[in-house]
Amino acid sequence: MKILKWVGIIFIGLIVLGIMFGDDDSKTKQTTPTSSANQEKEQSAAKPAEEKQTTTPAKPTPEKPPEKKLNVTTMAITKDNLKEVLKDVIPSDKFVKVDVSKEKSKCTVDIYFNPGDVWDEKALVKQSAITATDSYEVLFKNPKIDKVWFWTQTKMTDAKGNSSIDNVVNISLTKENAKGINWPEFKDMVLLDYNALFRIVDSYYIHPGVLKNLK
């Protein structure tokens, strides 16, 4: 009877333990979905904030206003202004400098040009004449300019092998003498024969070392 009594007690204890563990499992099963649902809600709530940050449009970069072109007709006669208006006719690698001088209220501009390597003396003089003509057309639009000297520089070597940069061509033209020139037509004439410029200018000079090799 005692044995049966103990067996009954153990049996009842096992039943109690089973009920306890069964309750824990059911609690776990009930709480797990709840926590997962909470996580999904938190993630879904966070997504719109992230999407808003990534879809914010970038601010457009402000465009620079176009540079105002210098008006050669009304500009002040300064070295910087002259260089600016001549850059369309004289490449920067061939432009040496420009000077301005005044004598008895008359304004003279001196342009210095170096063509670099050229084929021969004839090519040097022809390029000088063409570039000078283009420069005269631009500068004589300004009524304050009375005279323009165009100087061509190049490397010269003497009989003893000494080299130096010399002024080998210079051409002068006054405002008075430039009046009446039909520049588009005249520039075509100079392209065909550079002597067309030398026939109408006020004065010119060609270095003897260049002149002797002209054909």
Q: Domain ranges in the chain?
A: 1-54, 79-211
pLDDT value at position 173? 98
The pLDDT of residue 40 is above 80 = no
Report the alpha-carbon distance of residue 99 to residue 78 in Å, rounded: 8
Q: Calculate mean pLDDT across residues 23-29.
A: 48
pLDDT value at position 63? 73
Q: Calculate mean pLDDT across residues 61-90.
A: 89
Position 61, amino acid: T
Token pair belonging to 209: 């070392």
pLDDT value at position 33? 46
Q: What percent of the chain has pLDDT over 90?
A: 64
User: Is residue 131 a contact partner of residue 116, using CB atoms and an 8 Å limit?
Assistant: no
The model's pTM: 0.69
Round the average pLDDT of the chain to a whole number and report it: 83
Would you list the DSSP string of 92-158?
TTTEEEEEEEEETTEEEEEEEE---S-SSHHHHHHHHHHHHHHHHHHHTTSTT--EEEEEEEEEEE-
Report the alpha-carbon distance of residue 211 to residue 206 in Å, rounded: 6
Q: Calculate mean pLDDT across residues 14-26.
A: 53
Q: Please state, as a whole number, how many other Cβ atoms lie within 10 Å of the Cβ of residue 50.
A: 9
pLDDT value at position 28? 45
The pLDDT of residue 44 is above 70 = no
pLDDT-derived band at 69 (thresholds 50, 70, 90) equals: confident
The model's pLDDT over 99-118, given as tens digits with 9 standing for 90+, comes to 999 998 999 999 999 999 99
pLDDT-derived band at 159 (thresholds 50, 70, 90) equals: confident
Q: What percent of the chain has pLDDT over 70?
A: 69
Report the alpha-carbon distance of residue 183 to residue 82 in Å, rounded: 19
Token pair belonging to 150: 């165009």
Q: Calculate mean pLDDT across residues 7-29.
A: 54
pLDDT-derived band at 32 (thresholds 50, 70, 90) equals: very low
Report the alpha-carbon distance of residue 21 to residue 111 in Å, rounded: 106
Which range has the worst mean pLDDT, 61-65, 139-143, 190-194, 208-212? 61-65
